[in-house]
Structure 1
Amino acid sequence: MTSALGRLRFRHLQFLDILGQTRNLRLASEWMHITQPAATKMLMEIESILNARLFDRLSRGVAPNELGLFTLHYASGALEGHRKFAREFDTLRQGGAGHLTIGAISGSAHLLMSTVSEVQRLRPLLVLKMLEQSSDQLALWLAERKIDLMIGRFTSSEQQAQFRYERLSAEPLQVVGRLDHPLRSRRIQDLTELARWPWILYPSPTALRRVTDDIFNSIGLTPTSGVVETPSFWFSLELLQTTQMLSLQPASLAEEYARKGLLTRIQVELPDRMPDYGLITHLGESLSPSAQAFVSVLREKAGVAMAED
């Protein structure tokens, strides 16, 4: 198979990616600026190299089979890697410091902001792009090479064979509400009282949602007064400020926005805390110089944060 992959040309990968998007040989040929017979010949050539049929021929187009879907995923990732190399190389050639795209869960915001601040001081020309999402979505982006590294958690056992994990921090939790929430001035002794309020929940299968469900399951209750699901802390923040809803959030975020006068922490003792989160990168692959510099600062800041816990 290694020798077969060596026979796949860059144009083959481009063709596969386009055919995967169009599912039509005529459209793929137009996108590639070749004739339809040439497109048919190229597909047959690729299948001959791999010694496998990748697409089922239908009356109105083609459809990738299981091997075809796997190959399309490889082609898309390889092309994205090529595009990222071209962008990074061009930036470095012109005297810049490269690009870096980081995906992170909302609970890592405090650690991430201190890291970004220091990295910008050390490498002022580095272009950083930050994306906030749940761990399951970030893992998909990492697999597709849409991000260079992620700060989050594994959400499936398959990811452990694909990515490398390095623990950064544990994450205590805090119930929060609007600044003048009716529960703000007293300590909640009975968790059942919380179930009577409307809640903003992270969606399944996020780790924060699992912990929230576990807390309510431990007292034999579920929220009954209305639920809104969202993966976005910023949407939650806006909704919390305009309603009497409650939300379970990482303590670092809760403390930061309580200091800013945007939220209040509800005084209640929770039986659980979030699982650790960490740095997740591609297994067996070296980081770019820009990513290495970022990770070095991230480790330093995480060490300080854990020492303060």
Structure 2
Amino acid sequence: MTPSLNSIVSRLHVKQLRLLIALEERGSLLGAAKQLALTQPGASKALHEIETTFGAPLFVRTNRGLAPNAVGHCVIRYARLIHTDLAHLREEIVGIMRGYGGRVSVGVIMGAVPLLTDAITAVSERQPEMSVEIVEETSASLLGLIDAGRLDLAICRTSVSQTPYLYDSVLVKEETLAVIANVAHPLAKRKRVMLKDVAQHRWVVYRANMPMRILLEREFHDAGLRFPAHLLETTSAFATLNLLQKNPSLVALVSVDVARFCTAHGVVRTLPVTLASRSEPYEMVTRRDAPLAPGVRLLMQAIVEAGSAAA
């Protein structure tokens, strides 16, 4: 029977997590003991205590030494996460003591990546020693990471949540959309392109029920056009651009900021398609009433300034 959470918390020690990581890396008790400056009997006793804590064996003996079993792989994965979080904790404490907040975890949806990178560039010039983790995902996923405490803030949309009151949010920028395609696309050299002209082409789009996808579906509906079939669905800007590069007949809907970046580098071309609908603005989101480290506040200020400059 698996012990209770309280039992695991009261019996598990950080040094035991280091032993689990070392056992996976070294593959033997002797190797792990040497890495952690322990005796082999001491390492063996510690492993027995860990397996007792979790109520299950974590390793199997092989000709090559110790190998984690399924439960062992699971425990080691979380041991690494906890170890990483403790490293981040130390980094942030050092930063706070120096007066700038050592580390910030920020999420961003695809269209707002240029806005965020502008803000991070500005912050890096002011505080070159501050570390920033960037997670690009959908709004729903980013809000989930904020709920779990894995992100300090995110540039996304709270409209996708059933509990938007759980967040503090500030509108930072309106989003304008553009249709992009390979520079060799059949419509790339036209001075005017109607939605019906691209209706027959295959689209790279966000998956259903996401704001950008809903907007595109509304555009087709209002124009009396059938929404394209056989879609390629992705939330990745990199995947979108690679698909457009590989197949010159594809088209995609992205933010104007992403389109400008890509066209500036000659990767794609923006098709002169006029869209009547407006997308939802970007929001800068944090957990409601959550304490914010100095580094988080610094980045938030830079995001607001970047949004104002781009308006």
Q: Same fold (TM over 0.5)?
A: yes
The equivalent residue for 2:156 is 152
Residue identity opposite 2:107 in structure 1: G
Residue ranges of structure 1 left out of the alignment (5+ in a row): 1-7, 16-29, 40-77
Distance verdict in 2 for CA 1:197–1:213, change over 3 Å? same
Task: State yes or no: 1:231 paired with 2:246.
Answer: no
Distance verdict in 2 for CA 1:150–1:269, change over 3 Å? same
TM-score w.r.t. the length of structure 2 is 0.70
TM-score w.r.t. the length of structure 1 is 0.71
1:41-76 Cα offsets, whole Å, 9 max, x none, are xxxxxxxxxxxxxxxxxxxxxxxxxxxxxxxxxxxx
The equivalent residue for 2:197 is 193
Is contact 1:103-1:138 (8 Å) kept?
yes
1:2-47 Cα offsets, whole Å, 9 max, x none, are xxxxxx89926979xxxxxxxxxxxxxx8973757x97xxxxxxxx
Task: State yes or no: 1:121 paired with 2:138.
Answer: no
Give matches, 1:249-264, under 5 Å: 249-264=254-269
Task: State yes or no: 1:110 paired with 2:114.
Answer: yes
Identity score, percent: 21
Hey, what's the Cα distance between the residues in 2 that align with 1:10 and 1:98?
31
Residue identity opposite 1:221 in structure 2: R
Number of matched residues? 250
Residue ranges of structure 2 left out of the alignment (5+ in a row): 1-5, 14-46, 56-81
Hey, what's the Cα distance between the residues in 2 that align with 1:31 and 1:259?
60
The equivalent residue for 1:179 is 183
Give the match's secondary structure for 2:199: helix
Distance verdict in 2 for CA 1:149–1:32, change over 3 Å? farther
The equivalent residue for 2:9 is 11
The equivalent residue for 1:33 is 50
Hey, what's the Cα distance between the residues in 2 that align with 1:14 and 1:188?
66
Hey, what's the Cα distance between the residues in 2 that align with 1:13 and 1:122?
44
Hey, what's the Cα distance between the residues in 1 that align with 2:8 and 2:126?
37
Distance verdict in 2 for CA 1:288–1:96, change over 3 Å? closer
Distance verdict in 2 for CA 1:254–1:117, change over 3 Å? same
Distance verdict in 2 for CA 1:190–1:300, change over 3 Å? closer
The equivalent residue for 1:203 is 207
Distance verdict in 2 for CA 1:12–1:143, change over 3 Å? farther
The alignment's C-alpha RMSD in Å is 3.3
Task: State yes or no: 1:298 paired with 2:303.
Answer: yes
Residue identity opposite 1:11 in structure 2: V
Task: State yes or no: 1:135 paired with 2:139.
Answer: yes
Distance verdict in 2 for CA 1:220–1:13, change over 3 Å? farther
Is contact 2:262-2:268 (8 Å) kept?
yes
Deviation larger for 144-153 or 81-90: 81-90
Hey, what's the Cα distance between the residues in 2 that align with 1:13 and 1:283?
33
- Alpha-carbon shift at residue 187 of structure 1 (Å): 3.8
1:267-287 Cα offsets, whole Å, 9 max, x none, are 111111211111000101121
Q: Please list every run of at least 4 consecutive aligned residues from structure 1 whose deviation after the TM superposition is greater than 4 angstroms.
A: 12-15, 78-84, 90-97
The equivalent residue for 2:250 is 245
- Alpha-carbon shift at residue 81 of structure 1 (Å): 8.0
Distance verdict in 2 for CA 1:13–1:100, change over 3 Å? farther
The equivalent residue for 1:99 is 103
The equivalent residue for 1:24 is none
Task: State yes or no: 1:285 paired with 2:290.
Answer: yes
- Alpha-carbon shift at residue 220 of structure 1 (Å): 3.4
Hey, what's the Cα distance between the residues in 2 that align with 1:31 and 1:288?
40
Residue identity opposite 2:50 in structure 1: H
